[in-house]
Amino acid sequence: MQLSARNQLAGTVVTVTKGVVTAEVVVRLAGGAEIVSVITLASAKGLGLKKGSKVKAIVKSTDVMIAVDE
């Protein structure tokens, strides 16, 4: 698969929490950090996501916000 998105983060699914319409997918990256995605339940089922699945978290955004505590 080829994508234009440059931010492709390989990891392993830690949990898939299924709701009525969406699923929250937690992915652990190589350094131990985790990234969370909320996708449709149909997509989670179609991709066959489960604990231990090897996946890529793909981040495509035109804006990235940065915040600091005052």
Prediction pTM value: 0.84
43, 25 contact by CB (below 8 A): no
What domains are defined for the chain? 7-59 (2.40.50.100)
What's the pLDDT at 5? 80
Model confidence at 7, pLDDT cuts 50, 70, 90, reads confident
How many Cβ atoms are within 10 Å of 22's Cβ, its own excluded? Answer: 16
pLDDT tens-place string over residues 9-41? 999 999 999 999 999 999 999 999 999 999 999
